Amino acid sequence: MKRDIEADRAPSRRIRKQKQMRQKLTAVAMELFAAHGYDSVTMEQIANRADVAKGTLYNHFPIKEALIAAWVHEEIEQSREKLLTEVRTHRRFRSRILVFLAASRGWCEANKAYLPAYLRYRLLDLGATVPSGGMHTLDGVGWTFAELIDEAQNDGELRDDLPAEQLAEFLAHMYLGVLLRWLSGKTPDLSAEFETMLNLFLEGTVAGDR
């Protein structure tokens, strides 16, 4: 019986160890990026600083951009519950999303240097041209969108003939597009661009009666 229990626990221990290793590698990488700049740091330097074999690093993160993506998602998860508590002080979906987007804008402006690498990875991952490690298209802000959309559907505020996750994917892709426009210099005002995005999501682009 003892052997069976230990066997049952082995996968969870393995998952925990994998998570701990990924967090360690991400933390080391971000320290190096902050000290020397993202472009100057190599995967070999990250492996050396973390005291792991290069193969171990590549098993967890196939390309350097994947380290940035992991860090971004860790940042989102750490702040998610606190932010959702603030968001839910508002009753309407539009107000909730605008509060969330305002926080997102502040984070993006503070971490702008890392966003190009993050977006490169997300676009590569969506195209399945690199191993994703099981990343979902909603990873990042998308799951928060899905949760808020689901709540709005339950309240009768948003259409419910489409699943919340599908609507969230549409909004998440629009969100990534806004960041691409902002980084390319096509729009200097990220807040205004987010509001335009939300208006398009909620109202569409069909002109009214003339």
User: Which residue, 142, 161, 160, 144, is CA-closest to 152?
Assistant: 160
pLDDT category at 2 given cuts 50, 70, 90 is: very low
The answer to whether residues 70 and 26 touch, using CB atoms and an 8 Å cutoff, is: yes
Q: Please give the Cα distance from 48 to 16 (Å, whole number).
A: 23
If one compares 21 and 129, the residue with the highest pLDDT of the two is: 21
If one compares 86 and 2, the residue with the highest pLDDT of the two is: 86
Superfamily of domain 1-61 in CATH is Homeodomain-like (1.10.10.60)
Write the pLDDT tens digit of every residue in 8-26. Answer: 445 688 888 888 999 999 9
Write the pLDDT tens digit of every residue in 134-157. Answer: 556 788 899 999 999 999 999 999
For the chain, the domains span 1-61, 64-210
Hey, what CATH topology would domain 64-210 get?
A: Tetracycline Repressor; domain 2 (1.10.357)
The answer to whether residues 94 and 202 touch, using CB atoms and an 8 Å cutoff, is: yes
Q: Please give the Cα distance from 170 to 193 (Å, whole number).
A: 16
For the record, the structure tokens of 94 come out as 């539009």
Helical axes 115-126 vs 64-87, angle rounded to 10°: 100
Identify the pLDDT of residue 13: 82
pTM for the predicted model, two decimal places: 0.82
Q: Please give the Cα distance from 25 to 51 (Å, whole number).
A: 10
